[in-house]
């Protein structure tokens, strides 16, 4: 029998949502500082309003719903899923006030795209958007890539009971002995990468002729979007704006770094360098990149779109890495995807659908699940070929040697099915509004896989229902369904549950 939630359940959820609201308000001081630095009066006012609203809302929830009740699994999942919706609404306020979005829905789309590290954008006249707003767009990717709850665990939360919230944010691996230290490691290593990445990109910017002030801002924003596999840029032409092979090489490095499992990075840094060549995730990612780039390369050669070898590699490989890591950076115009043949589009869709590694900043299915399905298939083939008396125990290596069990395959299969269903759901909605199937599937996979590449469908003029569809896809895809399904179940229990 489905039980109706008690008042105490709602208090637990709202109390901790209040904490998240305050945390998001604190982060808005960073773009406020950028606004002061660049003397952007309107932006200073807009972020001040947003900060005050976030604080008032957060303190209201904390004061009126204060509770000492322990967080249970359902509480944790609901808090996680609602935190990302809250982040979308709060993050949209300064963007809407900027005047560069035609509606609050468009600014909500932009905010969710940022926090979910997707990179699809509805900003109008992006090239003239003030620096503080642009910094906020990219900062949302840094926050979302690390994880809102991971940051909360680092600053606001110290109880080990919050492991359930950590899992609900699509992370299920501990790097250090407990979840809080794991969350802090992820935050600290991200900050170290940010400093190194911003410095290196700033140097490239100076080499390419940018002023020091502009080079620092471009470097910081490019790194946050590359490492957190987001894809926002300061300019409407995306990476193409720079016409720089140095920027393309560096962003490729940061995209791949962001797509690698944080636990694996920790293991490589402190002990086993050989893990880079042994881990099932990395090997699957490597082979997947080879296969999808082969498909893409053959397709592009058939049409001879890029006869020059360097141009072919720069345009083809960069789009492929951007797609596979779930970043969404592009060094071609979005409408140019329409000139690619169906096989090339298919190769990019497959790369976007798979994504990078688990416990990283990427979205989509994740390579470990593809690797586990391959291992499961290999095990079944061995059982068929070998004598019935043979005992088959398939193993895989992920930091440690692990015996493949049914629970691994069942978990991987369920998530893969959910993602595929989500990809096709968005495609069907796109076709309903008159877009071609392959284009609709491309855009839907980009949204649900938190990629950000676009074939031209995403625009301020697209139907509002399609915007809402993509928002839901970005949200569900980033959280990998468990906390989202729990929220839906919680709402249903409020409506239909028995006391």
Mean pLDDT of each 10-residue bin along the chain, 499 residues long: 75 91 95 95 96 96 87 85 94 96 96 94 93 96 86 64 64 67 81 94 94 93 92 90 92 92 84 80 93 92 83 88 92 81 93 90 90 86 74 77 83 93 96 94 95 91 96 93 88 78
Please tell me the distance from the alpha carbon of residue 356 to that of residue 367, in angstroms, as a whole number. Answer: 6
Q: How far is CA 436 from the centre of its chain?
A: 26
Name every residue whose Cβ is closer than 8 Å to that of residue 30 and which is 6 or more positions away in sequence: 135, 136, 139
* Two tokens, residue 14: 């709202």
**Per-residue pLDDT at 381:** 84
Helix, strand, coil tally for the chain in percent (to 5): 70, 0, 25
C-beta separation of 376 from 394 below 8 A: yes
**Per-residue pLDDT at 292:** 94
What is the model's pTM?
0.93
**Per-residue pLDDT at 160:** 52
Name every residue whose Cβ is closer than 8 Å to that of residue 47 and which is 6 or more positions away in sequence: 28, 29, 31, 32, 35, 94, 132, 136
**Per-residue pLDDT at 499:** 67
């Amino acid at each position: 029998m489905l039980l109706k939630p008690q008042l105490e359940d709602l208090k637990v959820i709202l109390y901790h949502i209040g904490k998240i609201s305050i945390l998001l308000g604190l982060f808005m001081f960073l773009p406020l500082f950028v606004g002061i630095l660049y003397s952007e009066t309107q932006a200073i006012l807009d972020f001040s309003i947003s900060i005050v609203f976030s604080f008032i809302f957060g303190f209201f929830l904390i004061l009126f719903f204060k509770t000492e009740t322990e967080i249970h699994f359902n509480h944790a999942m609901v808090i996680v899923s609602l935190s990302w919706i809250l982040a979308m609404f709060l993050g949209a306020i300064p963007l809407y006030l900027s005047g560069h979005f035609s509606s609050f829905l468009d600014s909500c789309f932009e905010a969710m795209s940022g926090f979910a590290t997707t990179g699809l954008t509805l900003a109008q006249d992006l090239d003239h958007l003030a620096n503080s707003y642009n910094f906020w767009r990219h900062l949302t990717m840094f926050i979302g890539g690390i994880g809102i709850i991971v940051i909360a665990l680092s600053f606001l939360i110290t109880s080990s009971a919050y492991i359930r919230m950590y899992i609900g944010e699509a992370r299920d691996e501990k790097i250090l002995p407990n979840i809080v230290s794991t969350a802090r490691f992820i935050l600290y290593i991200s900050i170290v990468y940010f400093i190194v990445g911003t410095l290196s990109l700033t140097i490239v910017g100076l080499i390419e002729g940018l002023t020091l002030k502009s080079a620092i801002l471009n470097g910081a924003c490019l790194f946050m979007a590359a490492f957190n596999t987001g894809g926002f840029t300061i300019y409407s032409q995306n990476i193409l704006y720079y016409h720089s092979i140095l920027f393309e090489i560096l962003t490729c490095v940061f995209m791949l770094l962001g797509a690698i499992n944080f636990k694996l990075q920790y293991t490589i840094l402190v002990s086993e360098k050989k893990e880079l060549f042994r881990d099932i995730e990395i090997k699957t990612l490597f082979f997947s990149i080879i296969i999808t780039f082969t498909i893409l390369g053959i397709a592009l050669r058939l049409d001879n779109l890029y006869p020059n070898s360097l141009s072919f590699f720069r345009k083809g490989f960069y789009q492929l890495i951007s797609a596979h890591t779930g970043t969404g950076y592009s060094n071609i115009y979005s409408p140019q995807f329409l000139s690619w043949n169906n096989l090339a589009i298919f190769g990019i869709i497959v790369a976007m659908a798979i994504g990078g590694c688990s416990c990283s900043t990427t979205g989509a299915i994740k390579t470990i699940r593809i690797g586990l399905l391959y291992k499961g298939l290999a095990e079944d083939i061995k059982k068929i070929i070998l004598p019935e008396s043979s005992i088959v125990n398939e193993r895989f290596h992920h930091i440690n040697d692990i015996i493949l069990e049914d629970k691994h395959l069942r978990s991987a299969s369920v998530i893969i099915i959910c993602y595929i269903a989500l990809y096709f759901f968005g495609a069907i909605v796109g076709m309903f509004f008159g877009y071609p199937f392959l284009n609709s599937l491309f855009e839907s996979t980009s949204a649900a896989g938190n990629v950000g590449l676009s074939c031209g469908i995403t625009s301020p003029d697209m139907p509002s229902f399609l915007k809402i569809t993509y928002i839901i896809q970005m949200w569900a895809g980033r959280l990998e369904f468990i906390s989202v399904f729990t929220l839906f179940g919680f709402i249903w229990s409020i409506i239909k549950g028995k006391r």
